[in-house]
Structure 1
Amino acid sequence: MSVCVVSGTNVRSALLSLALLLVPPGAGAQTSAFTQSLAATASAEPAVADWYRTTGYRTLWTGPEDAARRAALLAALATADLHGLPRARYDAEAIRAALATAATEGDRGRIEVQMTRAYLAWAGDLTAGALEPKKVDGGILREILRPDPQVLLSRIATGEPEAVLAALVPSSAVYVQLMKAKLDLEAVIAAGGWGEPLALTPLEPGATGPEVVALRDRLVRLGYLRATASASYDAGLQAAVQRVQLDNGLVADGRLGEGTIAELNRTPEERLQSVVVALERERWMHIDRRVRHVWVNLPDFKARIVDQGRTIFETRVVIGKNMPDQRSPEFSDEMEHMVINPSWGVPRSIIVKEYLPLLQKNPNAVGHLQVVDRRGRVVPRGSVNFGAYTARSFPYALRQPPSDDNALGKVKFMFPNPYNIYLHDTPSKSLFDKEVRAYSHGCIRVADPFDLAHELLSWQTDDAEGEFETALKTGRETTVKLNRHLPVHLVYFTAYPDAKGRMTWRRDVYGRDAALWEALEAAGVELPGVRG
């Protein structure tokens, strides 16, 4: 057989030329050679083998009638870098080379399977991500919805190729905005970046001198200021610093502190890395942002209720400590009810690691907690020999009844899940004044829990505050069901567009994005200026 690729200056025309003038397989020996080669090559992958077996080994890519489909796939695979995907995994260039040098029907059978594998890998990565997130970080518990290979193959076999391939691209506005940010940052890198790191000391409004000029120049390069020759830290410069601080989740006081200097010294390569990881995260999401939902971006230390893209409620939160067993996980679920005046069932991990050693030294320690047996009965401490048990054999639970000092405060918000994670009040209010708020054992502490409760109840009663207050005053544990369940998304984006599409940035408090970038790089993702 012969393969001919028409060359030309127009890239699209060159791709379409991959009609290739393939000679159709003849009868007998040629067809048998093609089928045998295809079947043998596909046998290692059951989904691919099943497809060709059930379709009678009909071609998808290498027949003369497949020219449009072939060209569309190669054009799509060529965009891997645009999406921050590992182009070598699909390797359009290798496929072109194989097509150009194919000499036998056996070659054509192998190429047929090679293109099917590339298509399935591309479709899977683009619609559900290139990584298995749990393998990168055990705290990423998001359910990844992988597409069915048979469905993918059926669509490309029967649909208009370009439309089928275009439909694989995530359609969320967030994904589009992240793609734009990626292109913008690549242009900045190509132009030489934002300059050398600022060697600045903290500055206050009113300062003057060369350091202020250097700060002003950096803000001009970043797009926060118009060019000016002023050497004064004036009101305009202060306002620009405040915008930087807001965009980076810092306290917007307009002063140039160490945290603000650190963010101003982030390179475009670092920002690009964050955006590429955010694109991968967005490929995992598969959520409807049009419906009302709770959005907790862990590095942002904020919880929001978002309705039709508009934030209707916002509060500061405390997330889990940056310790292996206390980091808050990422997942989605549905809020079903709230508990007013909750008791606190101490998690088993806290019991055996923190409280059992104390009780073994002093049976009267942690006196605010009740000892509870497996049937839920409170057990007098004097009847328990704490020293007789190990962390594994300790048969009791610990519970804190409702009180002003209860670890869960006065209300908790439940979206039942296997990880025992929820939102709740806390008596430790001072932690909300800190800029980095990672202090819990994994659950999400809420700065304004009563306001959140009122907001949720207002959707099902005309007297939300009154009904909440009535239940609160009883001092008894009271469960209030939500008439309409509310999706809850615990996410982790260090790069994310705001409601106007402007990029905002957060610190990688758990190091998860750094680990994801390393995994993407190991998978073959290559970006200008970002190398290991």
Structure 2
Amino acid sequence: MATAKPPQVDPAAALAEFAASSDLSATLEAYNPPHEGYRRLKAKLAEMGGYTPPPPVVQVPNGPTLKPGQKDGRVAALRERLGVGATASDGELYDDPLVEAVKAFQKEKGLKPTGLVGPATVSLLNDPGAAGETKAVELKPADIVANMERWRWLPRELGSLHVFVNIPDYQLAIVRDGKEVHRTRVIVGRVANQTPVFSETMTHIIVNPYWNVPVSILKKEMLGKIQETAGSYLDRGNYEVVVGKRVVSASEVDWANVNPNAVSVRQRPGGGNALGNIKFMFPNQHSVYLHDTSSRGLFSQTYRALSHGCVRVHEPFAFADALLAEEPGGLDGKQLKGMIGGGEKYLWLKRKLEVHLAYFTAFVGPDGKLESRADVYGHNARTKKLLGI
């Protein structure tokens, strides 16, 4: 999901600006994102010889599942799409050579190679980039263009001090005056629970946070276990139940018939809390934030799309140290760490800063090399489709 709010351009004002311009090229260039990441990608695109639109992909019409040996008017398009000539007198026959070509295509795209041409196969035949990638791929000019486009989704001013999370890179950076001052690993949302793409302002930090269990997680992942144990599953996990504004014992709730929307379940602060010891709040419509975790061993994995949507931060108190460098009063990570234990502690920031959750599968690293990351959520493929590239 992306709820980024790209800067809006007033068409009339833009036309007036171009009409009055003495340098149309410079005026047009000023409408591009001012960010260094965009400029570096643009330079790499130029090195690659620019972008040339590929020939259009032959479209295979939708229809009933096509099975080997059948005759169908769509077979001609299927042959053209896969480059398989007719070996029988009937060009509409789904014959063995074409079946084998379809199986090879299905295997390449991660589908079961059945030879049956159903909706999933037709979708990939008509839009080869539709599937999300699990491995980094060789970058093509179209990929660079799509990533340049996503720079347009960001605010033109990122903030003199800001946090930048690149979801497919599983990395977070703190940037001060255009220079990176801190970098660490993160864990982002699973494909089924994607971390959204957006920007918001960090306003406060909570030490010893409660974890308020989302209703979706309560329904899908917890309710069955609660019912099987008559509520003792919650006691073992250090959870408490709130009905109305009152904390009640888990055994008081009729879990077999309860409406999950009528109760709140939250995990108390302390050992085993899913949010760890600290979370960093930038209020947003998704209820997504940065936080510690009790499952710290997962940071050693290469593939880190493992959360329910929030962003887990490796070594969060070191992150806090860099984050609070400009906070009046000298608050730092060491002081926050000393607050561990007891109830929730809210710390409201005087020096607020912007947080950007972004999605770049291509970027230029500090060494000038073009980097590629897996399109884990499929956003890059969808961007290319929307751009017609």
Normalised by the length of structure 2, the TM-score is 0.72
SS where residue 479 of structure 1 aligns? strand
Q: Would you tell me which structure has more helix in proportion to its own residues?
A: 1
Give the Cα separation in 2 of the matches to 1:290 and 1:509.
28
SS where residue 406 of structure 1 aligns? coil
Report the residue type matching 2:335 in the other structure. E
The unaligned stretches of length 5 or more in structure 2 are 53-134
**Counterpart mapping for 1:292-371 below 5 A:** 292-323=161-192, 326-363=193-230, 364-367=232-235, 368-371=238-241
Which of 213, 234, 242 is residue 372 of structure 1 equivalent to?
242
**Counterpart mapping for 1:397-412 below 5 A:** 397-412=264-279
Give the Cα separation in 2 of the matches to 1:467 and 1:171.
37
* 1:179-231 deviations in Å (ceiling 9; x for gaps): 22112223799xxxxxxxxxxxxxxxxxxxxxxxxxxxxxxxxxxxxxxxxxx
Give the Cα separation in 2 of the matches to 1:420 and 1:432.
22
Report the residue type matching 1:397 in the other structure. S
Alignment of 1:165 onto 2:32? no
SS where residue 471 of structure 1 aligns? coil
How far the C-alpha of 1:458 sits from its partner, in A, is 3.9
How far the C-alpha of 1:500 sits from its partner, in A, is 5.0
Alignment of 1:468 onto 2:331? no
SS where residue 342 of structure 1 aligns? coil
Q: Name the residue aligned to 2:369.
A: 502
Alignment of 1:276 onto 2:145? yes
The unaligned stretches of length 5 or more in structure 1 are 1-138, 190-261, 526-532
Give the Cα separation in 2 of the matches to 1:465 and 1:176.
34
* 1:271-328 deviations in Å (ceiling 9; x for gaps): 32321111110122233246111010011111110112221111111101111xx111
Distance 1:384 1:477, change over 3 A: same
Distance 1:152 1:340, change over 3 A: same
How far the C-alpha of 1:386 sits from its partner, in A, is 1.4
Contact 1:454 1:468 in 2 (8 A): no
Alignment of 1:183 onto 2:46? yes
Identity of aligned residues (%): 34
Give the Cα separation in 2 of the matches to 1:339 and 1:470.
13
Contact 1:318 1:444 in 2 (8 A): yes
* 1:337-388 deviations in Å (ceiling 9; x for gaps): 110011111112111222223223332223221111232x211223211112
How far the C-alpha of 1:470 sits from its partner, in A, is 3.3
SS where residue 142 of structure 1 aligns? coil
Give the Cα separation in 1 of the matches to 2:267 and 2:385.
43
Contact 2:275 2:292 in 1 (8 A): yes
SS where residue 496 of structure 1 aligns? strand
Give the Cα separation in 1 of the matches to 2:249 and 2:267.
14
Contact 1:309 1:499 in 2 (8 A): no
Runs of 4+ aligned structure 1 residues displaced above 4 Å come to none
Report the residue type matching 1:146 in the other structure. Q
SS where residue 366 of structure 1 aligns? helix
Superposition RMSD in Å: 2.2
Alignment of 1:142 onto 2:18? no
Distance 1:406 1:515, change over 3 A: same
Give the Cα separation in 1 of the matches to 2:11 and 2:180.
38
SS where residue 221 of structure 2 aligns? helix
Give the Cα separation in 2 of the matches to 1:152 and 1:463.
45
Distance 1:498 1:398, change over 3 A: same
How far the C-alpha of 1:491 sits from its partner, in A, is 0.4
Contact 1:337 1:479 in 2 (8 A): yes
Higher relative contact order (CA 8 A, sep 6+): 2
Give the Cα separation in 2 of the matches to 1:408 and 1:351.
16
Q: Would you tell me which structure has more strand in proportion to its own residues?
A: 2
